[in-house]
Structure 1
Amino acid sequence: MLFVTSDTHFFDKHMLGMTDFAKRPFYLTSMMNEEIIANWNKVVEKTDTVYHLGDIAVHFARPEKKAHQDIYEILTRLNGNFILIKGNHDNRALFKYLAKHNYELNGKPKFSFEDVGALIKYNHRQYYLTHYPLMLGIAPRIINLHGHIHHYSVNAKENINVGIDSAEFDYLHEKPAFGQPLSMAQVEEMVQAKQDDYLKRR
């Protein structure tokens, strides 16, 4: 199966509590990390692929190599092959570390990398997967899946926030547990529900 997610912010102490960016009721980043890992692995199988749309972690351990090693160890505990799209908190040094320590899973690399974004087709739609939201204008068959804005939403039906703090999970009949990536079936449900919501406002 194919999943998408964004803005896990592993190790990021600024995400703890009820902040301007997120509502993460944890006292310690280790508690937050473990909750994401457990919930992730409940829905993502080892054979699945996950597009992570940026801001994997914010970790200031020193030396920098130690921070990269800690993030790597977290990612290896998460099921699935990853296609990593660079967010504003993801530096090239981390991606280089992951590439150097990459390994094969399901006949392909555990980690693949995209600097700007990716384009996929699913169920007769095109999806642009980016970290930052794109302003697409009128694009009936194109949807932008993005993160970056945490619990905020873009006021356009073509933009779907798939970050783990997204307020747009309200469009789902059943919200994912904290940290769970979204299946494409859930994405489609969000797309349709947001479009229906905008039609009601006309």
Structure 2
Amino acid sequence: MFEILRSAFKETGMTAATGHEKLNKMINRPNILAGVSHEVRTQMNSIVAFSYLMNNERFSDNEKREFSEQIISSCEQLIGLFENFFDTASLESGSTRENLRETDITRLFESLTSEFRVFMRKKGHDNVVLIQEDNLPDKLMLKLDVARITRIISNLFRDALDSTSSGFIKVGCTYNDETITFYVKDSGQGFPRSSNLLLSDNPEIQHSESQDTYS
């Protein structure tokens, strides 16, 4: 799923002109624009529809509160969509800046899974079980771009939750041979190819198992 991200990290010796050319090439890909356009329209339609319903007097306060939560959720997904797009654009152009800092990976992973459980309870996903898997020591200090890693794993988790009405979601983190791997697996049906367009051109990728590796 992170084919574009990994290939961009591996490239070296990129000049400013080359980076600008790669950025233009990526933005002009028809499938990239189609994917962004589809996702933006979907969330904007949701915002408009629920905003309209909130102004309808026949709905109760509780129903309007639910509409409000749907609007907030759509806004958050739009923000995440644009953050992912700009992240990918920066990586493709070679202009990304990593904010690396010493981080306790064990504590970070525990914090993420705790937030995911709270999110599931808040959204009423009672038919989905969150399974935490890891082989981390009590404390593991590594240099990571915490904001970027957190955003990627959170996006994977939310995509898994969207595609899983019942069953399980596994969020895992393994550490072997000085390499750390985060992954998300679910028992859902996967998600449409349009959801993958920002990160991969491979139509065979399914969301049932997504992971990224760092060393």
Structure-1-length-normalised TM-score: 0.27
Choose between structure 1 and 2: higher helix proportion. Answer: 2
Choose between structure 1 and 2: higher strand proportion. Answer: 1
Structure-2-length-normalised TM-score: 0.26
- Rg larger for: 2
